[in-house]
């Protein structure tokens, strides 16, 4: 069994491009509003820059994949790629920790059944990894960007067309913080909304897509709060690469 083949399920956490859609450059609103002198495009640019510059953040979101399955993500991550959190896809649950350059995954039985499906000796391996912290191979391409904060933020700019034509809306509150709304009605009928903090640095506080076939919502909190995941103890850790090499 090749270790790299059991990590495909983890790749579903590449949510940045879906959860972080919503940047624009149209202008609307009166002089009394926050960012009165900025267009929606300028506000979004400031929000992206501020969010990139933050030492850390927590991303909590829900989205629907193309296959109709729902994904829930709760992940705290910093500039040094330390991270910890959870991913849940239709009952396939996994906890994540990335510390000292190593990613550990603790998945439930459903998670590992899906990850190991079709692999030789999967039943034997399953008994060894369920509810254990599994040390993932350092050279595994599918998990390399799991805890890349900058990659998550940068992914919102992959498709420049999603950044055009938004409008400045009213101010509202996101978890007790004042935010300005930027909205856009897309060609597919879905509505994109970006909430940008109006006080302090213009961090992204929430992003949502309503309607369409991939609705989603993500909230961003705990900016600059230290992320210090603990390294799992040896007695509760399994090295996936060593397990695969042993053939047991």
pLDDT in tens, 179-200: 999 998 887 888 989 999 999 9
Average pLDDT across the chain, whole number: 80
Q: Minimal CA–CA distance to 240: which of 142, 88, 144, 128?
A: 128
Please give the pLDDT value at position 20: 42
Q: What one-character DSSP code corresponds to residue 233?
A: P
**Mutual orientation of helices 122-129 and 109-116 as an angle, nearest 10°?**
150
Please give the pLDDT value at position 181: 95
Please give the pLDDT value at position 205: 97
Q: Minimal CA–CA distance to 140: which of 102, 166, 184?
A: 102
The answer to whether residues 135 and 239 touch, using CB atoms and an 8 Å cutoff, is yes
Question: Measured between alpha carbons, how far is 205 from 196 in angstroms, rounded to an integer?
Answer: 6
How many other C-beta atoms can be found within 10 angstroms of the C-beta atom of residue 245? 12
Please give the pLDDT value at position 8: 43
Q: Which whole number is the average pLDDT over 147-170? A: 75
If you count them, how many residues does the chain have? Answer: 248
- What confidence tier does 177 reach under pLDDT thresholds 50, 70, 90? very high
Distance of alpha carbon 214 from the chain centroid: 15
Q: What is the pLDDT of residues 64-114, one digit of tens each?
A: 776 777 889 899 999 999 999 998 988 889 999 999 989 999 999 998 888
Question: Residue 35: left (phi > 0), alpha (psi -120 to 50), or beta?
Answer: left
Distances (CA, A) of 8 to 5, 11, 13, 14: 6, 5, 10, 11
Question: Measured between alpha carbons, how far is 136 from 139 in angstroms, rounded to an integer?
Answer: 9
Show the tokens assigned to 180.
């300005």
Q: Which whole number is the average pLDDT over 3-26? A: 42
């Amino acid at each position: 069994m090749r270790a790299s083949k059991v990590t495909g399920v983890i790749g579903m956490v590449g949510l940045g491009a879906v959860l972080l859609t919503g940047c624009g450059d149209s202008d609307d609103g009166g002089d009394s509003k926050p960012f009165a002198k900025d267009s929606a495009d300028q506000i979004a640019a400031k929000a992206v820059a501020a969010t990139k510059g933050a030492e850390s953040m927590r991303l909590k979101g829900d989205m629907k994949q193309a296959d109709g399955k729902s994904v829930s993500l709760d992940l705290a991550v910093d500039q040094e790629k330390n991270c910890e959190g959870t991913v849940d896809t239709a009952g396939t649950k996994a906890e994540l920790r990335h510390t000292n350059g190593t990613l550990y995954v603790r998945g439930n039985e459903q998670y590992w059944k899906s990850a190991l499906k079709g692999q030789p000796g999967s039943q034997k391996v399953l008994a060894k990894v369920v509810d254990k912290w599994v040390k993932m191979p350092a050279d595994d391409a599918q998990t390399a960007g799991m805890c890349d904060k900058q990659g998550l933020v940068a992914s919102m700019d992959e498709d420049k067309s999603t950044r055009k034509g938004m409008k400045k809306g009213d101010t509202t509150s996101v978890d007790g913080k004042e935010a300005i709304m930027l909205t856009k009605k897309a060609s597919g009928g879905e509505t994109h909304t970006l909430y940008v903090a109006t006080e302090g640095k213009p961090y992204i506080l929430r992003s949502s897509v309503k309607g369409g076939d991939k609705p989603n919502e993500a909230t961003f909190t705990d900016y600059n709060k230290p992320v210090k995941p603990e390294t799992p103890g040896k007695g509760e850790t399994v090295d996936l690469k060593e397990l695969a090499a042993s053939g047991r």
